Amino acid sequence: MSFALPNLAYDDAALEPYIDGTTMNIHRTKHHNTYINNLNGALQSADGAGMKGSSLEAICRNVQSAPSSVMTVLRNNGGGHFNHTMFWTLMAPVGSASSAPSGALKQAIDSTFGGVDAMKEQFNKAAAGRFGSGWAWLCAGDGGKLFITSTPNQDNPLMAGVAEQPGLPILGLDVWEHAYYLKYQNRRPEYIAAWWNVVNWDTVAKYYDDASNGKAPTMNVPLQ
């Protein structure tokens, strides 16, 4: 069995005007699909066979134990597949999901950051300040304590020994230029600000519940 491209729960253009349909289509069917193809190829190789059949989460968690000949390929493309699979679930058309955190998630944000606006401000700084390509993350660490971090390239907080601060991601933003350049050109902060309008807080709350139980995000990762 090989990994396959997940379907979106919404149309490519459903996040407009904040995320344009052309970018969504290219981002998913070209960039994300390339990570999947490269990951599958590495797992089919002799050196990658030891991880064949592993879950996407397990590949990310254990990438440092892979043979050196395939470690970088698995790190870049396993991370790329995990990060994007999660990213699509973290967005929803305006009005189709909760527009703000509530319940236990909001309590955790308030306790850690002093409020949602303060959390967003810190997250925005992490996203805008990531040099080059990468991601910004809201995560749960030891004891479920929330923290914000960023990672380069397609690394993610599940990657022990790779991520600067490992943890369980509950919200992530892609700040590679291919995620925003067609609409926002070099105006990354404008893209970051616009993205909050389509964050699916229902899904973030679900991932926070997962993290509270010591689990990485429970996602549908299709196989073919």
Annotated binding site for Mn(2+): 27, 84, 174, 178
Token couple for 139: 């995560």
Which residue in 43, 138, 120, 50 sits closest to 81, CA to CA? 43
In terms of DSSP H, where are the helices of 131-212?
181-184, 188-195, 201-212
Which residues, other chains included, contact 41 with Cβ-Cβ below 8 Å and sequence gap of 6+?
Answer: 73
* Binding-site residues: 27, 84, 174, 178
CA angle 120, 124, 127 (to 5 degrees): 140
Which residue in 13, 169, 211 sits closest to 93, CA to CA? 13
